[in-house]
Amino acid sequence: MKKKHFEDKGIPLFQIQNNYPTSKAIQLHPDLIPYLKTINPPRINKESREALLLYNYYIAQDLYDLNITFEKNNAIIPTPLLRYNFLQQVITKNSTILEIGTGASAIIALLAASQFNAQVYATEIDEEYIILAKENIAQNKLSEKISVINSKGKIIDGIFQSDFSVDFIISNPPYYDKILSPKFLWGGKSHELISEGKSGEKFIIQLIKEGWKYLNVPGILSFIIPKTRHDTLVAIEQFLNENEFEYDIIGLLAGNRTRYVFKIYKKYMKDELISSEMI
C-alpha cells in the first residue's frame, strides 16, 4: 500500500521548542520594546519587517552565537529557530552537507557548520545574496567550513563534478507557483519563492532526481515545505510513491503554522530507483 500522508493525516508533529520567549528577549534587549504589538503579554509586531529582522537577529545571536546581517529590503526573513529544528530532525554531527539555495543570510549553512560541525557546500542563484552570504560566513569565522557556490540557475548537475558526494542534501526551496507570501515578509525577488510546475513542485522534483546521484550511502535528501502548500505536498508525495523512494515526513509546528519536513533515505549503493527515462 502506497503511503498517502496528506490524506491519512498520520504525520507525527513536533512542537518547535521556543526557549527564547519575547519576555526574555525584551529584558535582554530593551531596543525591542518599541516593536511590541501588545505589552501584556509581550508580543512582537509580526507585521513589521523591521521588528522581525531585529528579533531574529537577537535569536541567532543569543541562542546560536551567530552574528547575522539580514538583507533588509527584499529577502524573506529567516527564522533561526525553525531552521535549527529542521536541521536537528535531519542531520548528524560532523557530516558533509550540500544546501541548495542558502539565501542572503546563509542561515541554514551557518547553523549546520556552527552547531553540528558540518562541512557545508551552499549554492545560491542570486549574485547579490551570494555576496551577503559570504560576508555572513566570514564575520562568523566559518569560511573554512562553508563554501558558497553560484548555481547560475542550475540545481546540482553541471555545478559539481560527478564524483562529488555528501551525506546530506538539504533545502528550504522555492515552492510557490505564484507569490502568496505577504509583502512585508517577502520583498520582491521571484526566484526566492517561485517554482514552476502545476503547483510549484518542479524545482523540488528536479532536486530529488539530480540529488540522488550525489548522496553517500547512507544518505538523506531533505527539504521543508509549509502546510499551506497542500497541492505541492501531494504532488511530491505522489512522485516519491511512483518511484518507490523510502521516505518519512514529519511536521514542525511553530505557533499555529506547520511545515513538513521530507526525509528521503538512500540506503543502498546500487540504487536504481530512478529509471533512466525519468532523468
Ligand X SMILES: C[S@@+](CC[C@H](N)C(=O)[O-])C[C@H]1O[C@@H](n2cnc3c(N)ncnc32)[C@H](O)[C@@H]1O
Q: Which of 3, 24, 134, 191 binds ligand X (CB under 6 A)?
A: 191
Stretch that binds ligand X, among 48-56, 88-96, 186-194, 241-249 (CB under 6 A): 186-194
Query: What are the φ and ψ backbone dihedral angles of 38, each rounded to 5 degrees?
Result: -130, 150
Q: Which of 35, 54, 78, 221 binds ligand X (CB under 6 A)?
A: 78
CB of 48 to ligand X, least distance (A): 19
Binding mask 97-136 for ligand X (x = CB under 6 A): ---xxxx---xx--------------xxxx--x-------
Task: Note whether 153 binds ligand X by CB under 6 A.
Answer: yes
Q: Which of 174, 200, 211, 219 binds ligand X (CB under 6 A)?
A: 174
Task: Note whether 60 binds ligand X by CB under 6 A.
Answer: no
Task: Note whether 155 binds ligand X by CB under 6 A.
Answer: yes
With CB under 6 A, what is the number of residues at the site for ligand X? Answer: 23
Task: Note whether 211 binds ligand X by CB under 6 A.
Answer: no
Residue nearest to ligand X (CB): 101
Task: Note whether 192 binds ligand X by CB under 6 A.
Answer: yes
Stretch that binds ligand X, among 30-38, 134-142, 168-176, 243-251 (CB under 6 A): 168-176
- The residues that touch ligand X, with contacts defined as CB under 6 A, are 76, 78, 83, 100-103, 107-108, 123-126, 129, 151, 153, 155, 172-174, 191-193
